Amino acid sequence: MPLRLTLLESLLQRLNLLPTPLLDTPLAPGIAKALITACEIGIFDALSKHPLPLNVLAGRVNCDPCGLQLLLHVLVETGYLRQKNGVYRNTNLAQRWLTSGSRFNVAPYVIHSPDIVAIWDHLPEIVQSNKAAMRMPYEEDASVPQTQAQLERHYAGLAALATVLGSEPIMRAPIPTNATALLDVGGSHAAYSVLFCRKYPKLHATIVDIQPGIEAGQRTAKQSGLQDRLSFVYSDIVRDDFAAPMENQFDVALYFHIAHLLQPAINQAVLAKVARTLKPGGMLIYVDQVTNRRYRMRLAALMVHFMALTMTTVGGTCYPFTAVRQWLENVGMEQVQQYSLFTPLATMITAVKR
Ligand SMILES: C[S@@+](CC[C@H](N)C(=O)[O-])C[C@H]1O[C@@H](n2cnc3c(N)ncnc32)[C@H](O)[C@@H]1O
């Protein structure tokens, strides 16, 4: 993917005559670092309106022209930029996915990706012990500037991902058209709530999360102009009984990308609280990577395996559908169904409260 091989190179690779491990490392991590740097210093945004010569671009992004050119050469060879007569322009790939004016902009997630890569530094420990080696930043002290910056990057990255790739669960979730109240458990950045509110004009969403998550959600509420249709509740979903003041109030509850953070017994306990917040007949929608599916897409399979590896490192993991169905049935839900989602390469599971 970031490696663009010529026909001859592809043929050599198929014949196992290229040293592919030397392309996977150090070339692939090098390309990743070049891309992250380009997003951080704003190269793709600087080129989003007009192509620019090196000196002008260097002035716009505040870089030394000779230093910048080293990076630009890599970006040209990896297919993110084109260069003709000393003038640089974004390729369609960069323009669509990496510029802030595009509705498909995933640059915030690219900028967040080193925090994910840092989790993989623990891979040897995980392989040897199969035990958590670090914690997610949610449990760290958010008043420490470094943690605060990390959480901001995290929520901005997740919001970009949800906005760009998250419309499929909104399209496919069979929620009743007369639904008026949605609970977004661990919904932080609120991007999924915004997508649901846009599709269902009568819907009001309540987002439950930790304080830094809520601050991210409040920024989204302001940017989307949906402040009066989004409410925020600060609560620790594991330790607090957030359901007590909300019993039987919601038509829909989202449990999106939460299960992989938690151990089975804790998922069961949190889902029991979520179920209590639903009205009888209300729907719980679970989205996450599910392990026991046969994936037709190699990318989806790779994603699930990486997710399981990453989440085990931070104390969670990915679960099979049978485990999720059992949790849901144990907390009084029925009609449990699963749907494979194409875009976030995840699985959606729905269940209805008895
Ligand atoms: C992987 S993110 C998923 C965010 C969002 N639901 C999505 O799908 O993009 C996990 C979310 O759970 C929240 N979270 C983690 N632990 C929590 C806790 N103990 N109490 C409340 N929220 C928590 C995080 O702040 C974050 O918003």
Ligand 1 centre from 75 Cα, in Å? 34
Ligand 1 centre from 186 Cα, in Å? 4
Ligand 1 atom with minimal separation from the 260 CA: 1
- Sequential pLDDT tens for the chain (354 residues): 567 889 999 999 999 999 999 988 999 999 999 999 999 999 999 999 999 999 999 999 999 999 999 999 999 999 999 999 999 999 999 999 999 999 999 999 999 999 999 999 999 999 999 999 999 999 999 999 999 999 999 999 999 999 999 999 999 999 988 899 999 999 999 999 999 999 999 999 999 999 999 999 999 999 999 999 999 999 999 999 999 999 999 999 999 999 999 999 999 999 999 999 999 999 999 999 999 777 777 888 888 899 999 999 999 999 999 999 999 999 999 999 999 888 767 899 999 999
Closest by Cα among 127, 124, 158 to 261:
158
Neighbours of 111 (CB within 10 A): 18
Ligand 1 atom with minimal separation from the 155 CA: 27
Ligand 1 centre from 7 Cα, in Å? 44
Neighbours of 209 (CB within 10 A): 25
Q: Looking at ligand 1, which residue's alpha carbon is closest to its atom 9?
A: 158
Round to whole Å and give the CA distance between 110 and 120. Answer: 16
Residue to probe by mutation, ligand 1, list 109, 115, 210, most atoms within 8 Å of CB: 210
Residue 130 gets the label, from left (phi > 0), alpha (psi -120 to 50) or beta, of left
Helices (DSSP H) in the chain: which residue ranges?
A: 7-14, 20-22, 28-41, 43-46, 54-60, 65-77, 92-97, 107-120, 123-129, 145-165, 167-172, 191-199, 211-224, 264-277, 298-313, 321-330
Q: Ligand 1: residues whose CB is within 6 Å?
A: 138, 158, 162, 186-188, 209-210, 213, 236-238, 256-258, 261
Q: Looking at ligand 1, which residue's alpha carbon is closest to its atom 4?
A: 187
How much is the pLDDT for 1? 55
Q: Is the distance from CB of 206 to CB of 231 less than 8 angstroms? A: yes
Cis geometry, peptide bond prior to residue 26 (ω within 30 degrees of 0): yes
| Tokens at 297, concatenated | 């897409």
Q: Is the distance from CB of 189 to CB of 258 less than 8 angstroms? A: no
Most distant CA atoms of the chain, gap in Å: 68
Main-chain dihedrals φ then ψ at residue 278, nearest 5 degrees: -85, 145
Ligand 1 centre from 313 Cα, in Å? 17
Q: Looking at ligand 1, which residue's alpha carbon is closest to its atom 14?
A: 186
What the chain holds in terms of domains, given with CATH numbers, is 7-100 (1.10.10.10), 129-353 (3.40.50.150)
CA distances from 293 to 261, 286, 347 (A): 20, 16, 9
How much is the pLDDT for 160? 97
